[in-house]
Structure 1
Amino acid sequence: MFLGRPVLSAPAAWRRGLLAVLLGAALLPAVQAGVPSFHAVRQAWRPSDLPVLDRHGVVLQTVRVDGSARRLGWVPLTEVSPALMAALVHGEDKRFWQHSGVDWTGLARSAWQNTLNQRTQGGSTLTMQLAGLLDADLARPAGGRSVLGKVSQMSAARDLEARWRKSEILEAYLNLVPMRGEMVGVAAASQTLFGKHPSGLDAQEGAILAALVRAPNANAERVSARACGLLRSLAGQAEQPAAQALQDPRCQGLPLLAANAFARPGVKPLGEQVAPHAARWLWAQTVAQQRAKPGGQSTVASEDQALADTTVGALAQAWPAQISSTLDARIQRLALRALRDQLGELQQRQVTDGAVVVLDNATGEVRAWVGSPGLLSQAPLSGSGAAKLAAGAPDVDAALARRQPGSTLKPFVYGLALERRLITPASLLHDAPTQLAAGAGLYLPQNYNHRYRGWVPVREALASSLNIPAVQVGAMVGPDALFDKLNAAGLKISHSGGFHGYALALGSAEVSLMDLSNAYRSLAQQGRWSPWTAQAAATPKTRVPVPAPQAVFSPEVAFMLGDMLADNAARAPTFGLDSPLVTRGFAAVKTGTSKDMRDNWCIGFTSHYTVGVWVGNARGTPMQRVSGTTGAAPIWHALVQRLHEGQPSMPPAPPGGLVQVAVQQPGQALRSEWFLPGSEPEGVAALSSQAAARSGAAAPRFGIKSPVGGSIYALDPDMPPEVQRIVLDGEPGEWWLNGQRLGRTTAAQPTLAWAPWPGRHHLALRAADGREIQSLRFEVRGATLKPGAKIAKKA
């Protein structure tokens, strides 16, 4: 009898188990199992969250790459809290530092107590448990371990002790032991439950983690009771009922600490989390490269597809220990802070989302990638109203999302016309209401502010972002040619030029902020386009070959475009002399706003960087009273100023193929202008504004601009005839309708307003010498005019 219980009352199975344990020492040499080295185990460790490093090795973000378990980076024993190690060893294997893998005393006691139906104890040492973690065949099955399985585990433990140091065994165990839920290792448990690195755990937190090893998914009450027992036992206190033990000062607060830890939502690993969208893209590229065949194209259709297709078994052995990027942590923080501050200011104007991209001009490497200002980035918020930023769409990567770019496409429209020598920076364009045939109807573009300036030079038309001149130039080059040019600049526009029509010049197609910023970078690179990248090579052997740059524009055209976009005087009529587009050094910049104020853009380049900014709403709702200078431009300005602190942006040197000539347009001051050779005015003498106005010498020759041939006009019988006029617009000359002279237009008075009457009409424009410049036919339908209506009047 022992403690009042007969030995013979024990089940026969436990008696046989006790006998097997006693014979274990004799069997061990015959069951030796191969054990990997500590170095091999550590090298094979693959965390579920990989750190994403900036170009200087600073951790920007971590990205989840394995959804089956939560494992963080391998933690050396020197970085584990002594309190946790003490509690773990005391609770799981008190003689860990003395035995050689198998604690025969503890094993015999465990077998004896199990035989007597007392407390169930496994008797496994930390080394034996580690053997089960390293070899699935040695792990404890759900139905219990067989005698042979126990002996095999003991044999593996003896082999581990023979080949590994004690510190290595404990270190591997702390990293491999399953914890609560999906967590594996003390690093994941410490970060998820307590929000700290394992080195910072105090005695109570260490005791809770040690208690979880025995029962990972136990409730908070049970875990806190066991943790309290560990703390008291470490202090040499006698065992007490849980209710009394929890009154010990060492245990006070344990139940609340455990309850809060278990209720805590999963948090991201320690460190900054400021580039989530870049991290997702980088991991997708990593997956694609691991799956690509040797010499194949390592690209993916989308980052979401790559992440969804990831399988641990196929890729685990190929995972890198970290992901290197081209981002710069300092610039990334600046971009994120500038975006959040500005969106805080715009909260009353129904703006919730935005994105910022910074590219290195020389290499195309991404220095900053902010796809959203929302809480996904996990960085401190600032600015008035910043707490409301969560109302946006943090999961949407607005840097890669495709939106209408508005006027930001205009430089490429003008660039194509300059390249074809259809215009020069000094050419005059007529900023007035215009009608263009568009299929069976008419396209009637308007300026943003619904004001028109008459004849303006190309320089001012582009810098001031006038819509009518841009559409006129777009009509000169044609939608198909413009479509091809934009795609040559990497914008990946869908459909065709005919699908978009003349509206393509005003940004009717959809592009991404990243691609559009890179297209502007080509202007900074003398017209040479090359792809952008955010992926840095870990080693020279893994460097992805960069395609040779492609010429989008000639260096001369790229320089002229940059020079016009950097001309603050030329943009002043629209933006003023002191707008956010004005910087201390050189910067060529353009804003854009899409239809109904759904998107606002500001993209420009300095001598070193190209900065692109988008603000709007990811859900597509319009903003309220947000213009180019109040939406994205302040973010662009703040970032450009910070990027060039102590390093002023210098203007580029003009290419040798350009000619600089002094010119003077009507109403303009004398200034110098750049021309392609052969396109400059004859001589270098400036034209007088009076002579230009009289002769029309500076005015371009377009023929008839309005009406458009084949147009059909409908008269409204409910409207007074005096408000129903057809504007006759074109180059200076005499206008003839159905063989009758209507009047004459000049550079000073460029249009006539004609009161129409129903019928089919033939309109002709003749030069002063009687030569016909152009003729066309159109039709008017509807009610007749009242008698006495004027035929034409000056407008």
Structure 2
Amino acid sequence: MSSSGKKPMVADRRYKKPAGGGKSKPPKESRAKGRAPRRATARRGLSGWIMAFFGLIWRIIWGFTWRAGAVLALIVAGVTFYFYAQMPPVGDMLDARARGSVTLLDRNDKVFAWRGETFGGSATAGNVSQYLHDAVIATEDRRFYRHLGISPRGIASAVRINLREGRGPLQGNGGSTITQQVAKLLCLGVPFDPTQWKSEAEYEADCRKGGLMRKVREVPYAFALEARYTKEEILTIYFNRAYLGAGARGFEAAAQRYFGKSANVVNAAEAAMLAGLLKAPSTYAPTASLQRAQDRAQLVLDLMREQSFLTMAEHEAATRTPATLSEAADARVGTYFADWVMSEGPNFLTKDTTEDVIMRTTLDQRLQTAAEGALAEIFATKVREGSKAEAAVVVMSADGAVRAMVGGRKNVPPGSFNRATMANRQTGSAFKPFVYAAAMDLGYTPADYVEDAPLTINVPGSGPYSPRNYTNRYLGLITLTKALEQSINVAAVRISEAVGRDVVRKVASDFGIESDLAAGPALALGASESTLLEMTGAFAGILNGGSSVRPYGLIDLRLQGDKTPILGQDGGIGERVISDQSAKYLTYMMHMVVEEGTGRRAKLEGRQAAGKTGTTSAARDAWFIGFTADYVAGVWMGYDDNTPLSGVTGGGLPAEIWQEVMTRVHEGMPPRALPMIIPEPRLPPQPQYQDPQYQQQQPQMQDNDPQVQQQPNEAPLADRILQEVLGILGGN
């Protein structure tokens, strides 16, 4: 005990010391409680190790992920900034065509065709029709105003659709926003390089390629677009650069092309049709299939209604009256003519132009429609179903101005094979007028005589040549008019030999037959080849009084917005080939072909016509070319592979096509007399030959038309020449 008397501070024993000096033990209950914490500590240690292990893995993954994400974000930010820094003002992004456009006007200055890529002028998101603005948003990107350039939800939805339809995750639907589509239209900022791509089409195809890497590259470019431009400016780029079929680049051009109006005034139905083109321009173009375009437009209208862009009344009104093509777009006339006339101007202002060009042409859309309709009518009613026979038609004025051109039975895309200008075919008897043109110019008259009798000509290097008539009969002594009227082969060869093949060849060439004309006696029977356009132009020279013509379609060409043409022409008449009197004599002879000869099926009711049939060997080609006082028209019929026609001659279906074409062409026009001279009949000389199968009858010629000029007999020299020629030929 201390001196203070206080007890020392000692902690109380928790347990009393047991007797015997042993260590005290806690009660049994307490011992049990003491052991439980030790076992729990052991268990927490095991799970702690496990949790610590997974925690470590997570920290490693998280550490790597956020660092990688940070690095990726920095890369994306850097690339985005790189793209952002290169982007020009929005106005410079609207029209970046590598090619310009050509707008073709007919003779009345109405648009009938376009070539190249037409840019109709800048259309902004603020000045286009509200219907068009909303239709594009509803169809292409309903969350356009809520995302920053990409839409994860849209991409996920597209992947799900692609997988469900058995495609790859990024094949088919891409889930692209409008901003991403603009990135594709801009080719991610890569300009067109003609040294790298063969064509602009190849360049654009490369820009539109899908795939993972393309999507990855689109992301920073889309972010840059969103950072550089406002939403309305991005829409403006889209409205101007999107291709919408039929050569239309941008919604303004498409609205003009399909509806003949500006994009700022299209109604709901028209806006829906235009927006529907974005999915597949060539497929849904109304010029390709109006019904398909209308069906697609209905889906767009339904989307607009679903997203409350249209009221119920507006939706019902647009559904009741779907969009239709303008008159010019619906007509779709002159495809072959447009292709041909594009070749009339220099390439740098036509097919390779970088400018927007306006081309005025000679086309008459009424006549073009008449020619197309007539050809379709004859093939529908008089040609067996399934026939692959083809035909071509050309209609022109006497000065060579081409008013209509049909290069085949079907309405085909631009650039297709044009049988009127590209097919070089044997002309057959359609060539014979040039033989008689040469004779007329040397003093013969239609009333002079030629002997139709067996003939054999010894051709040096080739041996004997014996022409035969189509009927295998000989008519004896006949007039030149009768010889052409009945298309007598032997008579044509006799005249050709009499006047000289070189003379005949020169006359034909001067009239515009540019092919390599045959050198032998078969020249007179059309053994040489020519195109329908050349032959029709040559016949135009007969109608105009004997002067050559160059068929033409281009009147003038100017840059859009300019009033002064860069180039142009007033007509196609060239040098005189034969005299006016000779041309009028020949016109009379060809008139008789239609009135009484092989071309009777071409006769026009109440209107004078002249023409000539032509059928080549084995009937591989059949022709009828002729004219009235107003127009010249040529028809060719045959197979592209030179298969012989079955039961067709120039005086058959081609003459009927010609008759149908010219009947429609002259509808509403007063009849005019042909410029022809009817010769006075003459007594024949003593015949040298008489076919026993044919009883010769002398033609009774008289002038029944007071408007036709009567010409007195003024060819005693021609009589003497003819008698000498017949005497010489009679001995062969």
User: Which TM-score bucket, shorter chain as reference?
Assistant: 0.5 to 0.7
Supply the RMSD in Å over aligned alpha carbons.
Answer: 5.4
Deviations along 1:610-632, whole A, 9 cap, x unmatched? 10001111211111222333220
Q: Equivalent of 1:170, from 217, 235, 249?
A: 235
Question: Residues 151 and 13 from structure 1, CA distance in 2 versus in 1: closer, same or farther, beyond 3 angstroms?
Answer: farther
* Alignment-derived partner of residue 703 in structure 1: 727
CA contact (8 A) 2:254 2:274 kept: no
Change over 3 Å in CA distance of 1:609–1:664 after alignment to 2 = same
Superposed displacement of residue 271, structure 1:
3.4
Q: Secondary structure at the match of 1:373?
A: coil
Displacement of 1:458 after TM fit? Answer: 1.6
Q: Is the 8 A contact 1:663 1:670 kept in 2?
A: no
Structure 2 residue aligned with 1:78, among 111, 116, 129? Answer: 129
What secondary structure sits across from 1:451 in the alignment?
coil
2:95/2:241 contact within 8 Å kept: no
Q: Give the secondary-structure state (helix, strand or coil) at the position aligned to 2:371.
A: helix
Partner of 1:595: 617
Q: In the alignment, what sits opposite 2:700?
A: 669
Task: Write the letter of the residue equivalent to 1:705.
Answer: L
1:355 is paired with a residue whose SS is strand
Q: How does 1:93-492 map to 2 (within 5 A)?
A: 93-94=144-145, 136-137=188-189, 142=214, 144=216, 153=225, 156-157=228-229, 166=232, 170-177=235-242, 234=307, 271-286=330-345, 288-290=347-349, 315=352, 317-318=354-355, 320=356, 324-348=360-384, 352-362=389-399, 364-374=400-410, 376=412, 395=417, 397-421=419-443, 423-439=444-460, 440-492=462-514
Cα distance between partner residues in 1 of 2:453 and 2:583: 28
Q: Given the superposition, is the C-alpha separation of residues 487 and 188 from structure 1 closer, same or farther in structure 2, using an over 3 Å criterion? A: same
CA 1:703–1:509 in 2, change beyond 3 Å: closer, same or farther?
same
2:632 equivalent in structure 1: 610
**Which residue identity does 2:406 align to in structure 1?**
V
Structure-2 separation of matches of 1:147 and 1:621? 59
Residue matched to 1:725: none
539, 542, 547: which one pairs with 1:523? 542
Q: 1:550 aligns with which of 565, 570, 575?
A: 575
Contact 1:356 1:370 (C-alpha < 8 Å) held by counterparts: yes
Among all aligned residue pairs of Structure 1 and Structure 2, give the percentage whose two residues are the same amino acid.
Answer: 26
Aligned AA for 2:511?
A
Contact residue 128 and residue 157 of structure 1 kept, 8 A? no
Q: 3-state DSSP class of the match of 2:239? A: helix
Q: Does 1:563 pair with 2:584?
A: no
Letter in 1 for 2:585: M
Superposed CA offset, 1:18-70 (max 9, x none)? 78999999x99x987673564x655655789866543335554555x58xxxx
Report the AA paired with residue 78 of structure 1. S
Asked whether the 8 Å contact 2:135–2:275 carries over to 1, the reply is: yes
Change over 3 Å in CA distance of 1:559–1:94 after alignment to 2:
same
Counterpart CA distance in 1 for 2:568 and 2:361 is 13
User: Following the alignment from structure 1 to structure 2, what is the Cα–Cα distance between the partners of residues 451 and 172?
Assistant: 76
Report SS of the residue matched to 2:464: strand
Structure with the bigger RCO (C-alpha within 8 Å, sep 6+) is: 2
Deviation sequence 1:554-611 (CA, Å, 0-9, x none): 1111111112212369x52x449x6433442222211111111111111111222110
User: How far apart, in 2, do the equivalents of 1:151 and 1:432 lie?
Assistant: 90
User: 1:60-88: per-residue Cα shift (whole Å, max 9, x none)?
Assistant: 4555x58xxxx886795339645523415
Q: Match for 1:359: what amino acid? A: M
1:314-367 alpha-carbon deviations (Å, 9 max, x no partner): x4623x3665532222211211221222233443496611110001223x2211
CA drift of 1:681 comes to 8.6
Quote how far apart the aligned CAs of 1:509 are. Answer: 0.5
- TM-score by structure 1 length? 0.59
Q: Which amino acid aligns with 1:541?
A: P
Bigger Rg over Cα: 2
Tell which deviates more after alignment, 554-563 or 76-85: 76-85
C-alpha distance 419-584 of structure 1, shift in aligned 2 (>3 A): same
Structure 1 gaps, min length 5: 96-102, 115-121, 192-196, 214-222, 237-268, 292-309, 379-392, 683-691, 709-795
One-letter identity of the residue aligned with 1:397: R
- The separation in 1 between residues aligned to 2:376 and 2:255, in whole angstroms, is 31
- Alpha-carbon distance in 1 for matches of 2:655, 2:416: 21
1:762 match: none
Q: Structure 1 residues 609 and 137, CA, compared in 2 at 3 Å: closer, same or farther?
A: same
SS of equivalent residue, structure 2 residue 412: helix
| 1:35 alignment counterpart | 88
Distance 1:460 1:109 in 2: 83
Query: Could you say which residue in structure 1 is the equivalent of 2:319?
Result: none
Given the alignment, which residue of 123, 138, 142 partners 1:87?
Answer: 138
User: Distance between the aligned counterparts of 1:471 and 1:535, measured in 2?
Assistant: 39
Question: Partners of 2:621 and 2:189 in 1: how far apart?
Answer: 59
Q: Which amino acid aligns with 1:352?
A: A
Q: Separation in 2 of the partners of 1:491 and 1:678?
A: 31
Which residue of structure 1 lines up, in the alignment, with residue 161 of structure 2?
A: none
Distance 1:599-1:660 versus aligned 2 partners, 3 A rule: closer
Output the amino acid matched with 1:431: D
Give the direction of change, closer, same or farther, for the CA distance of 1:503–1:290 in structure 2 (3 Å limit): same
